[in-house]
Amino acid sequence: MNLLLGYTSLMIMNNRYLPVQGRMKSLAAIQFVLALFLTSTACLADKKPVAPKSIDDVVIVTAEEAIDLILANPDMPIIDSRKKTEYVKGHIEGAVSILNTDLTEEDLRQVVPEKDSAVLFYCNGERCLRSSDAIRKAKSWGYTNLIWLRGGWEEWTDKQLPVVSE
């Protein structure tokens, strides 16, 4: 039941008078804060880092080109730079899991003893910097035949290429 008293409307609720005008202001404030929150999170989503378009002296391949390379070079090392939990859920057959932040020159030497041997790196995709970080480390240690699946795991699985899991 609404009562009009002067310019302020009142609503009777549970035997209490609540100013409708005040409730509307509160509702408008809540809507404003919610809109602000949704807008800011949408903007933050666009601010996620993006892998570089290229890295000097590094060959970028698509998932199909990576398959051709793997088939032509079955002993070529493949470095999965993602987290171990992601690797266990699924990875490219033959890939070795070495998180980019854990990668040391000794780790890489154990997998790729010859610095001029071809080695393929990948991570989650274009919004992931792990493989590009690992490649930069490998370059700084003198590795010269670096191949990058820039589209990473996302491209690989989108194209429904073969995966293995543990």
Is 3.40.190.10 the CATH classification of the domain at 59-158? no
Average model confidence (pLDDT) for the chain? Answer: 84
Task: Give the model's pLDDT for residue 48.
Answer: 76
Q: Is the dihedral of CA 147, 81, 164, 90 positive or negative?
A: negative
3-state SS, one letter per residue, for 20-55: HHHHHHHHHHHHHHHHHHHHHHHHHHHCCCCCCCCC
Indicate the domain borders of the chain.
2-46, 59-158
List the beta bridge partners of residue 13: 16
Q: What is the pLDDT of residues 19-42, one digit of tens each?
A: 555 555 655 555 655 555 544 444
Q: How many CB atoms lie within 10 A of CB 73?
A: 13
Q: How confident is the model at residue 85 (pLDDT cuts 50, 70, 90)?
A: very high
Q: What is the pTM of this model?
A: 0.72
Q: What is the pLDDT of residues 103-151, one digit of tens each?
A: 999 999 999 999 999 999 999 999 999 999 999 999 999 999 999 999 9
Task: Give the model's pLDDT for residue 166.
Answer: 82
Residue 19 makes CB contacts below 8 A (sequence gap 6+) with 8, 9, 10, 11
Residue 123 · residue 153 · CB < 8 Å: yes
DSSP for 75-134 reads T--EEE-S-HHHHHH-B-TTEEE--TTT--HHHHHHH--STTS-EEEE-S-TT--HHHHH
Three-class SS state of 13 = strand
Distance CA 27, CA 23 (A): 6
